[in-house]
Amino acid sequence: MFQQEDYDVIVVGAGHAGCEAAAAAANMGSKVLLVTMNMNTIAQMSCNPAMGGVAKGQIVREVDALGGQSGIITDKTMIQFRMLNRSKGPAMWSPRAQSDRMRFAEEWRLTLEQTLNVDFWQEAVTGIVVENDTVVGVKTALGIEFRGKSVVLTNGTFLNGLIHIGEKQFGGGRAAEKGSTGITEQLKELGFEAGRMKTGTPPRVDGRSLDYSKMEEQAGDAEPGKFSYLDTPSLVKQRPCYITYTNAEVHEILKEGFEKSPMFQGRIKGLGPRYCPSVEDKINRFADKDRHQIFVEPEGWSTVEVYVNGFSSSLPEDVQYRALRKIAGFENAKMFRPGYAIEYDFFPPTQLHLTLETKLIQNLYFAGQINGTTGYEEAACQGLMAGINAHNKVHGKQPFILKRSEAYIGVLIDDLVNKGTDEPYRMFTSRAEHRLLLRQDNADLRLTPLGHALGLASDERMDRVREKEQQTQEIAKLLKNFAIEPQEINGWLTEIGSAVISEKTRAVNLLRRPNVDLPALARVLPGLTLALAPYRPEALEQAEILVKYESYLEKEHQQAARVQELENFVIQGRLDYRAMPALSHEAREKLLKIQPETLGQASRISGVSPADVSVLMVYLGR
Ligand SMILES: Cc1cc2nc3c(=O)[nH]c(=O)nc-3n(C[C@H](O)[C@H](O)[C@H](O)COP(=O)(O)OP(=O)(O)OC[C@H]3O[C@@H](n4cnc5c(N)ncnc54)[C@H](O)[C@@H]3O)c2cc1C
């Protein structure tokens, strides 16, 4: 037997999902083997070198709060940080970082190499080994069989990957990397359903060939934030991004390439991400728009390569090149790599339990892009959850499932498993019905206690959360008691166009006004500044949000508790929905297929109506 160990968890693929899965399972004490095709591309960012963004930034913070690594690695390797949506309410604030692509991958590899319990093997996995409907290992191209108690598949865009550039098409999992064959075919034989999706990426150019004076500079935040709740380094120096636009000339050249477009000529069959369309798709669909925004993003500290965000294309490379050079600032652009589209296999995620274990084969988990999602953040959080659950299962522990009211991660997995997806699924704040509760500022309060109980989040993290909780309570109390005299504040209130006060008023009442925030209030009131001096900035921010939005948050908590009543109603075992004639035909079919684990889950399956839920309640004895 070759280099044989009895692994607890074998992770296939070292993308964002695979890295988090391996790190989580190993940090919880599992013996892990990470098998990946190419150890030089561990944690490769296939598309843009950026982490976070709207709703995605919240996910990275949740991963961090649970004890995952993506936030720490992003903090260590970012070149720019911005908090998006600052002008909106705190539920919409979303951290986003521009990363150094090479440093990001390097830091992940370093992290994994320093994680006890992770072994590596570089090779393509061609299939899984199954005995009695349970996975017991994987097979590789060299014919090696590795045995493991559980397997997490995270093959990303590699399964039967097919790359398109104009009329050219060739097999590959990503530019310059081989695709993966065998796994889909075997899983189909085992009874899995597979589908096809598509995604694309823009060309990369030489930054030295661009004229930035013709573009708008987009600087990072003056006081850059971070993703991790731990003491990761703060950014002292940042690299700017730039904004420019396509124009009529660019559009005309791109249109010349339409007859060779794999998308418009029907060679691409898979559905692509609706919210990340190619530039040809944009000019075709929005023909009345005379320009589209292009974000010019550096790929790192020490490279001249630049990512042309907004110009994703699978048109012939010469068309991409000619069109690019008509963009302001790109007149002399030299292209390093053309944009391309890729089609790949995915497995409709309704075939999974909420733990990401497959319903067909025990101890087999799927995570990341193969579940029909798109994005590093979506992949990373699934990897984390699959790694945790694989570890728990092989150690006889309880499944770890996050509720929709607890985390975006809970929303994502619940959506995937109950509703499935036929186009690449990305997270939006609008997908979360309790988004007021799921903020980037409180992911640690929501999730670190859970991560700590799992044995994943460290004692240090937990101590910080306790301290933040305690300080937040103290500050909230202080703000409710701190009295302000009219003469202390009315001058400033008049200045900012807010109504003056006629009598002594508590700080909390002023904070509830839309144009008053705590730092500004403290600047005007030296007494308040003094009282708040002992507290940490994150506790001050938390307390401000809690008192400012107290009544909204209370309502949201009540709403979440009501929904939870259905969630607590566990459906034991497999029910024979065919024997429930009062259910609608569609509900019977969907319930049979998805086999929900709670009444709440059943209620969210599309096609299961409130009337069907009532039937189930009666049947289950309620
Ligand atoms: C061209 C392109 C464009 C994209 N555009 C966007 C975009 O615009 N927006 C967006 O949000 N996301 C985009 N993505 C998606 C983003 O890259 C993925 O969502 C993310 O990387 C998925 O992470 P993952 O861990 O699931 O898989 P990946 O990052 O794809 O990692 C898969 C890993 O598995 C390994 N592997 C695969 N098969 C095997 C095997 N059989 N044996 C061993 N190892 C194997 C690979 O080597 C790799 O390490 C794009 C991806 C590509 C390729």
- How many angstroms does the Cα of residue 199 sit away from the middle of ligand 1? 10
| Domains along the sequence of the chain with CATH | 204-340 (2.40.30.260), 459-555 (1.10.10.1800), 569-619 (1.10.150.570)
174 lines ligand 1 (CB under 6 A): yes
Q: pLDDT grade, residue 39 (50/70/90)?
A: very high
E strands along 390-457, which residues? none
Does the pLDDT of residue 31 top 60, yes or no?
Answer: yes
| pLDDT-derived band at 2, boundaries 50, 70, 90 | low
Of all protein residues, the one whose alpha carbon is nearest to atom 11 of ligand 1 is: 375
Cα separation, 378 vs 354, whole angstroms? 15
Confidence of residue 617 (pLDDT cuts 50, 70, 90): confident
Determine the average pLDDT of the residues in 438-449: 98
Q: Mean per-residue pLDDT for 289-294? A: 96
Please indicate whether residue 565 or residue 434 has the higher confidence score (pLDDT): 434
User: How many other C-beta atoms lie within 10 A of the C-beta of residue 282?
Assistant: 18
CA angle 457, 463, 464 (to 5 degrees): 90
Query: At residue 606, does pLDDT exceed 90?
Result: no
Give, for ligand 1, the residue of 11, 16, 268 to mutate: max count of ligand atoms closer than 8 Å to Cβ: 16
How far, in Å, is the centroid of ligand 1 from the Cα of 286? 29
Determine the length of the chain: 622
Q: With cut-offs at 50, 70 and 90, classify the pLDDT of residue 583.
A: very high
| Ligand 1 mean position, distance from CA 563 (Å) | 35
The CB of 67 under 6 Å from ligand 1? The reply is no
State both tokens at 384: 């984390």
Mean pLDDT of the chain: 96
pLDDT tens digits along 217-271: 999 999 999 999 999 999 999 999 999 999 999 999 999 999 999 999 999 988 8
Tell me how far apart the alpha carbons of residues 349 and 357 are, in angstroms, rounded to a whole number: 10
Instruction: Kindly indicate the confidence band of residue 91, based on its pLDDT and cuts at 50, 70 and 90.
Output: very high
376-394 vs 70-77: helix crossing angle, rounded to 10? 140
- Closest-CA residue, ligand 1 atom 10, reads 375
Q: How far apart are CA 157 and CA 520, in angstroms?
A: 48
Q: What is the pLDDT of residues 511-555, one digit of tens each?
A: 999 899 999 999 999 999 999 999 999 999 999 999 999 999 999
For ligand 1, whether the C-beta of 368 sits within 6 Å is: yes
Residue with tokens 């000019």: 283
Report d(CA 173, CA 157) in Å as an integer. 6
Please give the distance, rounded to the nearest whole angstrom, from the Cα atom of residue 21 to the centre of ligand 1: 15
Measured from the CA of 382, which atom of ligand 1 is nearest?
26
Q: How far apart are CA 547 and CA 567, in angstroms?
A: 29
Please, are residues 238 and 227 in contact by the beta-carbon 8 Å criterion? Answer: no
Evaluate: CB of 309 within 6 angstroms of ligand 1.
no
CA 442 to ligand 1 centroid distance, Å:
29
Asked whether the predicted pLDDT for residue 1 surpasses 60, the reply is no
CB-CB contact of 427 with 375 (8 Å): yes
Q: Name the nearest CA neighbour of 415 among 442, 376, 362, 378.
A: 378
pLDDT surpasses 90 at 422: no
Closest residue (by CA) to atom 38 of ligand 1? Answer: 155
Rounded to whole angstroms, the Cα distance separating 155 from 161 reads 10
| Residue 322 in tokens | 């000619």
The two tokens of residue 39 are 């150890």
Q: What is the pLDDT of residues 384-419, one digit of tens each?
A: 999 999 999 999 999 999 999 999 999 999 999 999
Q: Are 183 and 135 in contact (CB under 8 A)?
A: no
Instruction: Note whether 61 and 226 are within 8 A (CB).
Output: no
Strand-strand pairing, 145-153 and 7-12: parallel
Residue appearing with tokens 């919240």: 58
The dihedrals phi and psi of 328, each to the nearest 5 degrees, come to: -60, 125
**Given the DSSP bridges, would you call strands 195-201 and 305-309 parallel, antiparallel or unpaired?**
unpaired
**CB proximity list for 47: less than 8 A, separation 6 or greater:** 199, 201
Q: Is the distance from the beta carbon of residue 164 to the nearest atom of ligand 1 less than 6 Å?
A: no
Q: Is the pTM of this model over 0.85?
A: yes
Question: With bands split at pLDDT 50, 70 and 90, how would you rate the model's confidence at 620?
Answer: confident
435 marked among binding-site residues: no
**Tokens representing 599?**
């009444």
609 lines ligand 1 (CB under 6 A): no
**CA of residue 180 to ligand 1 center, whole Å:** 12
Whether the predicted pLDDT of 575 surpasses 80? yes
Backbone torsions φ then ψ of 386, nearest 5 degrees: -70, -40
**CB of 272 sitting under 6 A from ligand 1:** no
The single-letter DSSP state of residue 232 is P
CA terminus-to-terminus distance, the chain: 55
Query: Alpha-carbon distance 597 to 602, whole Å?
Result: 8
**Is 488 labelled a binding residue?**
no
Q: Would you say residue 3 has pLDDT above 70?
A: no
Contact status, residue 383 vs residue 21, Cβ threshold 8 Å:
yes
Strand partners, 134: 131, 362
Ligand 1 within 6 A of CB of 346: no
Residue 58 has pLDDT above 80, yes or no: yes
Strand order in the sheet with 340-346: 168-171, 162-165, 340-346, 195-201
- Hey, which bits of 450-600 come out as E strands? 483-484, 505-506
| Residue 519 C-beta-side C-alpha neighbours within 13 Å | 6
DSSP 8-state secondary structure symbol assigned to residue 455: T
596-606 burial, b for 16+ CB within 10 Å, e for fewer?
bbbbbbbbbbe
The pLDDT assigned to 4 comes to 67
Residue type, 12: V
Q: Using the mean position of ligand 1's atoms as its centre, give its distance from the Cα of residue 446 in Å.
A: 29
pLDDT at 5 over 80: no
Residue 431 alpha carbon to ligand 1 centre in Å: 23
Q: How far is CA 500 from the centre of its chain?
A: 44
Would the pLDDT of 618 be above 90?
Answer: no
pLDDT digits (tens, 9 = 90+) for 301-326: 999 999 999 999 999 999 999 999 99
Residue type, 530: L
